[in-house]
């Protein structure tokens, strides 16, 4: 069993982005810029935003943070997005989800210029992912693919099972595996015989948001297990969607939580932002 080290892979991705950024500055005097918008004071969102800021510093980006009070109106938020769409030094716009209940995240995402949508949530970018002709990929699924490539894990012809059908992870994850010729099954809360379906997977991706949901009987001997979950167990300790201790000995590869998929998400965001800077400057 080999542990897939997300910190190691993400460090490599960030180094590549840093090199690319230095080149853009030197050759074209372009500094990629990322704007992060956070509404309210969700503690988990705050942690993410701080990590994004640190990553921007590390790779040499210009970054701006807009921390808005929880009672911000839809109009105020949309007007900020419009302003950022027009800012020349901002190449990527990221609105941290979830937004407070009274705001409509769909409308907000659709207001972002698709060429600055470094989360790849805009309908235009989602459509391009379906077609396989994309500019940007959603950060978490793209990070998962990056890990599989790093460890030379072949997707083509494999049985791939994704548990969870969210627009952020489950659906795009399935598409990316499909683009690499995996045979893909998406499972969700209405799936019958879930354990049986999962136990046929060569590559199992858990993105369901339930602590230790995937148990040993759901995992095939020698499977690759990717845990996208970020949960807390009964003792308040950070854990994933996979019961790591009981599952790990059955796997050929497994991602830990923390230190697996998490670091990859931010590394991919950096990759998307440098790509956005290049697209917007016709490079």
pLDDT digits over 37-49, tens only?
A: 999 988 888 988 9
Say how far apart CA 24 and CA 65 lie, in whole Å: 23
The segments of the chain whose pLDDT lies below 50 read: none
What pLDDT is attached to residue 43? Answer: 86
Torsion of the alpha carbons at 170, 197, 225 and 98, rounded to the nearest 10:
20
Give the number of other Cβ atoms within 10 Å of residue 246's Cβ: 14
pLDDT, residue 116, reads 98
Just list the catalytic residues. Answer: 52, 96, 119
Is omega for the bond preceding 98 within 30 degrees of 0, making it cis?
yes
Asked if 253 and 232 count as a contact pair (C-beta separation under 8 A), the reply is no
Closest Cα to residue 74, out of 42, 36, 41, 100? Answer: 100
Whole-model pTM: value is 0.94
Helix locations, the chain, DSSP H: 6-28, 43-59, 74-86, 105-111, 123-131, 139-150, 170-179, 194-198, 244-247, 261-280
- Residue 44: what pLDDT? 84
**What pLDDT does residue 14 have?**
98
């Amino acid at each position: 069993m080999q542990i897939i080290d997300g910190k190691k892979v993400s460090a490599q991705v960030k180094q590549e982005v840093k090199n690319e950024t230095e080149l853009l500055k030197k050759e074209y005097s372009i500094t990629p810029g990322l704007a992060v918008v956070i509404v309210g004071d969700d503690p988990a969102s705050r942690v993410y935003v701080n990590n994004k800021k640190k990553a921007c510093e590390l790779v040499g980006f210009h970054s701006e943070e807009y921390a808005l009070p929880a009672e911000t109106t839809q109009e105020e938020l949309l007007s900020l997005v419009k302003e950022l769409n027009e800012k020349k030094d901002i190449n990527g716009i990221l609105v941290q989800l979830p937004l407070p209940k009274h705001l409509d995240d769909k409308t907000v995402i659709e207001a972002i210029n698709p060429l600055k949508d470094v989360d790849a949530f805009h309908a235009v970018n989602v459509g391009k992912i379906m077609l396989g002709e994309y500019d940007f990929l959603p950060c978490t699924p793209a990070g998962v693919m990056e890990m599989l490539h790093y460890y030379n894990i072949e997707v083509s012809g494999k049985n791939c099972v994704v548990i969870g059908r969210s627009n952020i992870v489950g659906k795009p994850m399935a598409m990316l595996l499909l683009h690499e010729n995996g045979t893909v099954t998406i499972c969700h809360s209405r799936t019958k015989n879930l354990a049986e379906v999962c136990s046929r997977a060569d590559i199992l991706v858990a993105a369901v948001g339930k602590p230790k949901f995937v148990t040993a009987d759901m995992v095939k001997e020698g499977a690759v297990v990717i845990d996208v979950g970020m949960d807390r167990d009964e003792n308040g300790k950070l854990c994933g969607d996979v019961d790591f201790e009981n599952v790990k000995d059955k796997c050929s590869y497994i991602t830990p939580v923390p230190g697996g998929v998490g670091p990859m998400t931010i590394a991919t965001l950096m990759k998307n932002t440098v790509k956005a800077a290049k697209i917007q400057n016709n490079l």
